[in-house]
Amino acid sequence: MDQRSKIAILGYGAEGRAIYNYLYDKGYHELTVCDQDVDLKAKLGDGVSAHLGESYLHDLDQFDVVFRSPGVKYLEPGIQAAIAKGVDVTSSTAYFLDQRPCKVVGVTGTKGKGTTCTLIHEMLKASGMDSHVAGNIGDPAISLLNITDADSVVVLELSSFQLQDMKASPDFAVLLNTTEDHLDYHADKDEYMRAKEALLAHQKSEDVAVLNKDYEYVKFYEPVVKGMTKFVSVKEELKEGAYVENDEIYYSEKGKKEKVCKVSDVALIGSHNLENIMPSIVIAKTMGVDMKHIKKVIKGFEGLPNRLEFVKEVKKIKFYNDSFSTGPITSMAAVDSFEDPTILIAGGYDKGLNYNEWALKILTKPSLKIVILMGDTASIMEDAIVEADEKLGEAEGSPTQVLRRQNLEESVLTAFAEAEEGGVVVMSPAAASFDQFENYKERGKAFVGYVKKLK
């Protein structure tokens, strides 16, 4: 690619805008914005070449290079046709990895990416390193090329959408638990799993990969690893990595173990967050961070917005916002995080996920008293609960009450009316937000707003 190249920018969201601005500033002026939004023309300004509307993926073979934004599917026929004709299809994240002047930590997985990235970033920053967070959390990675150098570290949150066509891997890779998700985007679970292989497949022998030994996915990804492999586990002692034993967190290197802290010292709510903390410890220690900085972060970091975020206590009822939970696994983890009498608000946009296991958790968690269902998935979830109840029988299931409400505001008001003193109300939808909200952040903001009106 040179300054004479004809370049297309597919999708003009945050990442698309960032790569456009970066390339333009570097003297690449043969740029065309391709986007489905026909109203974008007025925002682009005069002199900006644009191909807008439903046909925005047509005729991509006229370009030398195409930068694909994460929201545009790699397997779209228009993109595949361009690749077949020799067009270089890439992304701003891939370009950043090719051009990076510094070490990069990449984190992916179905859930926990943002929390893990932030933990790593805070640990590195506490030790005095010039650390930056980018990707799905923070700024687009491309925007950091001008402000980082050999002494910097960039911690990248990477989704399957970004990884799918990447031909470079980060120096340090963290692969969290990977379950089915985004089946509205990927063809099937196999494609989703394989999309994440790029995190590991292009590493060098001196690079490091961190995997969770407690999950089946290890068998799928471990053969792909090109660098050194370190593990985390809550089930077994490890010679290389981090693990939990007798309610203590340990870090082990070459068989020599070092106590990190007690599990009870962790500020984050929910035992599932141990799966985010342990890889962070491994990366930080591997990069030379002193244990005192690691301990300080673990004991002080209370989490990100929309991830089991404490909102308010009203009449001795605590409200938690877990809007980032867009699948059953994270919603189950939220339910498991509380032993006080709990009401769960769930439901949203249907991504084609299976709720059978989630339904079993709903019926077998003794502290869960009521589940309030809303949105497109309400019927699907209720059917799964009915089916699970039939399988369990009266002896095994708990008397969880199921209620249906039209929207989030009604759900919050009902939860407040039904909650016990000393109890918990948690919105952990187990579904995406697009049926009623623009994104999970807007849903979380709405929930917080409704809760703050309660008296």
Instruction: Read off the pLDDT of residues 391-438 as tens digits, 9 standing for 90 and up.
Output: 887 656 567 999 999 999 999 999 999 999 999 999 999 999 999 999
Closest CA to 141 of 14, 235, 263: 14
Tokens of 419: 């909650």
Cα distances (Å, whole numbers) of residue 54 to 13, 37, 202: 17, 8, 35
Domain 94-300 has CATH 3.40.50.300: no
Instruction: Read off the pLDDT of residues 284-294 as tens digits, 9 standing for 90 and up.
Output: 999 999 999 99
* Helix extents (H) in 235-376: 274-286, 291-300, 328-336, 356-364
Tokens of 434: 């697009």
Please work out, in degrees rounded to the nearest 5, the angle formed at the alpha carbon of residue 162 by the alpha carbons of 160 and 165: 95
Q: How far apart are CA 390 and CA 392, in angstroms?
A: 6
What's the helix, strand, coil split of the chain in %, to 5?
Answer: 35, 25, 40
Distant-in-sequence contacts of 257-262, Cβ < 8 A, 24+ apart: 258/291, 260/291, 260/294, 260/295, 260/298, 261/295, 261/298, 261/299
Instruction: Fill in the DSSP letter of residue 420.
Output: P
| pTM, 2 dp | 0.87
**CATH code of the domain occupying 309-452:** 3.90.190.20
Query: What pLDDT is attached to residue 298?
Result: 98
Delimit the CATH 3.90.190.20 region(s) of the chain: 309-452
Backbone φ and ψ for 342, nearest 5 degrees, come out as -120, 140
Which residues, in sequence order, are bridge partners of residue 314?
Answer: 317
pLDDT tens-place values along the chain, 455 residues long: 999 999 999 999 989 999 999 999 999 999 999 999 999 988 888 889 999 999 999 999 999 999 999 889 888 999 999 999 999 999 999 999 999 999 999 999 888 999 999 999 999 999 999 999 998 888 899 999 999 999 999 999 998 888 888 889 999 999 998 765 444 444 556 777 787 888 999 999 999 999 999 988 888 899 999 989 999 999 999 999 999 999 999 999 988 999 999 999 999 999 999 999 999 999 999 999 999 999 999 999 999 999 999 999 999 999 999 999 999 999 999 999 999 999 999 999 998 999 999 999 999 999 999 999 999 999 999 999 999 998 887 656 567 999 999 999 999 999 999 999 999 999 999 999 999 999 999 999 999 999 999 99
Cα distances (Å, whole numbers) of residue 322 to 13, 300, 383, 429, 430: 25, 20, 23, 8, 9
Delimit the CATH 3.40.50.720 region(s) of the chain: 7-90
Tokens of 122: 């805070």
Whether 16 and 1 have beta carbons less than 8 Å apart is answered as no
Query: What pLDDT is attached to residue 183?
Result: 45
What is 7-90's CATH number, 3.30.2320.80, 3.50.50.60, 3.40.50.720, 3.40.50.2300?
Answer: 3.40.50.720
Count CB neighbours of 193 within 10 A: 17
> Which region holds residue 135: left if phi is over 0, alpha if psi is between -120 and 50, else beta?
left
Delimit the CATH 3.40.1190.10 region(s) of the chain: 94-300
Query: What pLDDT is attached to residue 189?
Result: 66
Query: What pLDDT is attached to residue 394?
Result: 64
